[in-house]
Amino acid sequence: MLWGMKMQYRRQHIIWLLAGLLLALTATAQEQSVRPGINRHFENPDWQQWVNAFERPGREVFDRRHAIVAASEVHPGMDVADIGAGTGLFTRLFARAVEPEGTVYAIDISRNFIDNILRTCREQGLTNVQGIVNSQAGVGLPANSIDLAFITDTYHHFEQPQQMLTSIHQALRSAGRVIIIDFRRDPRISSNWVMGHVRGNQAQVIQEVQAAGFRFTGDKPLMTTNYFLEFVKSSEQGISVQ
C-alpha cells in the first residue's frame, strides 16, 4: 500500500516536472524573434530623417492618408491605438477625427518617436493623444481600452507577432477592430526590397491574425503596393500577456 502511494507520488511529480518543462520551452519559443535585427534602425532614430521618409509624396500610404482614415470609419468618441506610430502621421489624423471625447494612443518601440509625436501634437493643439513606449511582447494597453487597433507598414516589424496579437486582442473591447496595412509581397509586382524585407505575404498575415482570435472581414482595394486588411475581435483565444 505504502509502496503504491510512493510510486503514484513519483509519477505525479514527474508529470508536474514535464508540464513545467513544456511551459518553459513554450515561453522560450514565444520570446524568440522571427526577424532578429529588423528594428535596429529604430533603436535611436533620427526624427527628421524618418519624417522625410514617411511623410513624403510618392509613399503610397502618405498619398492615400485621407482615404485610409475615411475607410477606417473612425468617429468622435472612439479610442484608437496607432501601433508602430512612427512619426505620428496617422496619430494626428485620427486625433482630429475622434475628438473631443476620443483618445488616440501613439504606440512605438522608440521613445524618440513618441516624444516627438507628443511634441508635434501639442504644437498643433491636439490634447487627446497619449504616448506609449512598448516592447515587442505587447502594446502596453489595459484590457478593454480601445475600439480600433491600427497598424500601418508595421506588422512585418513585429518580432513576436503572436504575443503582440494576443496583447492587442486583450486591449480591444468587444467587437473591436484591427486594421493592418502593409506591403504586398508578390514577386510579380513587389520590389526586391519588399521581397527581402517583408516577412510574409497577405495570406500569411490573415492566417496569423485569425489564429489569434480575430475574424477576417475584408480587404479594401484602396492601394496598389499596400493592402488594407480588416479584422474584428471574435473570441477569447490567446495566452495572457503581462
The pLDDT value given to residue 51: 81
- DSSP letters, 2-43, are HHHHHHHHHHHHHHHHHHHHHHHHHHHHHHS-SSTTTTGGGS
Q: What pLDDT tens digit does each residue of the chain (242 aa) get?
A: 544 544 554 555 444 334 333 433 444 344 466 666 666 666 777 878 878 888 899 999 999 999 999 999 999 999 999 999 999 999 999 999 999 999 999 999 999 999 999 999 999 999 999 999 998 889 999 999 999 999 998 888 788 899 999 999 999 999 999 999 988 877 777 767 667 677 778 899 999 999 999 999 999 999 999 999 999 998 655 444 43
**Bridge partners, 135 (sequence order):** 138
Q: Are residue 80 and residue 23 in the same domain, yes or no?
A: no
The pLDDT value given to residue 42: 65
The pLDDT value given to residue 38: 61
Statement: the pTM of the whole predicted model exceeds 0.85: no
**Inter-residue contact 178 to 231 (CB < 8 Å):** yes
Q: How far apart are CA 109 and CA 120, in angstroms?
A: 18
Q: Are residue 63 and residue 160 in the same domain, yes or no?
A: yes
**Inter-residue contact 71 to 222 (CB < 8 Å):** yes
Which cell numbers hold the place of 172? 480591444
Q: How far apart are CA 30 and CA 23, in angstroms?
A: 10
The pLDDT value given to residue 208: 93
Assigned domain for 242 exists? no
The pLDDT value given to residue 230: 98
**Inter-residue contact 102 to 113 (CB < 8 Å):** no
Q: Are residue 222 and residue 202 in the same domain, yes or no?
A: yes
Name the residue range of residue 117's domain: 41-233
The pLDDT value given to residue 88: 95
Q: What is the CATH number of the domain that holds 195?
A: 3.40.50.150
The pLDDT value given to residue 227: 93
The pLDDT value given to residue 238: 45
Count of structural domains within the chain: 2
Q: Are residue 166 and residue 187 in the same domain, yes or no?
A: yes
Assigned domain for 240 exists? no
Q: How far apart are CA 233 and CA 174, in angstroms?
A: 7
